Amino acid sequence: MQTLTTQSEWIDRARAVLPAAGFGNFDPDIVIARGDGSHVWDEDGNEYIDYLIGSGPMLLGHGHPEVLEAVLEQLPKGMTFFANNAKGIELAEAIVDAVPCCEHVRFVASGGEADMYAIRLARAYTGRTKILKFEGGYHGMSAEAQMSLAPSTRVNFPQAVPDSAGIPQGVADQVLIAPYNDLAAVEALLNENDDIAAIIAEPLQRIIPAAAGYLQGLRDLCDKYSVLLIFDEIVTGFRLAYGGAQERYGVTPDICTLGKIIGGGFPLAAVGASGEIMQHFDKSIVGADKWLMQLGTLSGNPIAAAAGLKTMEILRRKGSYARLRAIGKNLQDMQSKALTNAGVPHQICGDETLFDIFFTKAACRDYRSAKHDEPALNTAYNATLRKHGVFKSPGKLYPSLAITEADLEQTRDAVLEAVRSTFLD
């Protein structure tokens, strides 16, 4: 009889073949075996309520029966073609119908790839080279995106600090860094630099909300200085609202990127904009000099498109977003109440659909202020949550529509224990 491989054995096998024993995404000391609905199980059979949800795409939970049915219907028809397919075209139509800035979309396989093309597209359209991004803003793994993503040392703005080895200094010279939620800093940079192609921003920067009027202020400044505004909606698209942050906040960028939810759990992302901007993907219109080459083996994959289409159809149903927000508000309130009762200073930072807690009295306004007074307390708090069956990122909690009342009760018990053991013992 074959012996089942334990989690520790899988971890040993990972150490032998994977740098740092992992995929580079998450804690390599846990190996997930399966997911179903709102729960995941590790290779030792330990069960968790899943608030990581694949870093965002599983908004309906794992193995949603209608999404599985759509995927299984497509599978025997073909898994990928490198050519146009009906599901991909239908998904493009659904995105254009939903997202205000999108008249055309172009598919890619990952959010980071979409952000890379959005930056390149802005440069092609404007003929300028510099990009303004915000300290702490995450836009994938391209060289430009790796500027001041998580700098460990503070430098003066607008100096860009690379967060990875292997990036030439020339890249840093083309990226300007500003603090989030500071319109005066942005305008100063726009006033001093006439070669900025675009501002790229997360409308909800990781979990830091835009201050009142900030996103509209960015829109107004971009119009004033003839600069393109890019919204990275990889996370916020179809999460904050069906039309994403653009619908939720009423601000329309020139270009946006989408991912995670539009693939229904499969690798798929997109860049979208007006027809005028997107024509740079069409050599017959703009000519060879202004043409933006873009190829991708799995772009517009019909399996991912089928899963995304069904996911989006379910999200359009009455009450979906109200329920998602109610779940998120419940999760926020239960933690805030427990921490307040224990006399623990804290800030709930984010949106009901995506948030976390900072153990601090300070308001969370930008990368430098959004931090724990004592990071070790956050580590201990999250470790206790996991020990009691709550699976989440150390810095982010994703509610999903699969969360049940029983899940919320178990989470509440885990929170009370985490607060007790971290702050009161």
Read off the pLDDT of residues 291-311 as tens digits, 9 standing for 90 and up. 999 999 999 999 999 999 999
Query: What's residue 153's pLDDT?
Result: 86
3-state SS assignment for residue 322: helix
Instruction: Specify the fold of 31-63+319-424.
Output: Aspartate Aminotransferase, domain 1 (3.90.1150)
- Judge contact between 148 and 160, C-beta under 8 A: yes
Average pLDDT, the chain: 97
> What percent of the chain lies above the pLDDT cut of 90?
98
Catalytic residue IDs: 138, 232, 260
Q: What is the pLDDT of residues 364-403, one digit of tens each?
A: 999 999 999 999 999 999 999 999 999 999 999 999 999 9
Pairing relationship of beta strands 130-134 and 196-201 according to DSSP bridges: parallel
First-last CA distance in the chain: 46
Q: How confident is the model at residue 5 (pLDDT cuts 50, 70, 90)?
A: confident
CA distance 166 to 55: 26
The full length of the chain comes to 425
Does residue 110 contact residue 342 with C-beta atoms inside 8 Å? no
Which helix (H) or strand (E) segment holds residue 120: the answer is: helix 111-126
So what's the pLDDT on residue 9? 96
Q: How far is residue 223's CA from residue 225's CA, in Å, rounded to a whole number?
A: 6
pLDDT in tens, 254-279: 999 999 999 999 999 999 999 999 99
The answer to whether domain 65-315 has CATH 3.40.640.10 is yes
pLDDT one-digit tens code per residue, 182-197 = 999 999 999 999 999 9
- Residue ranges of domains in the chain: 31-63+319-424, 65-315
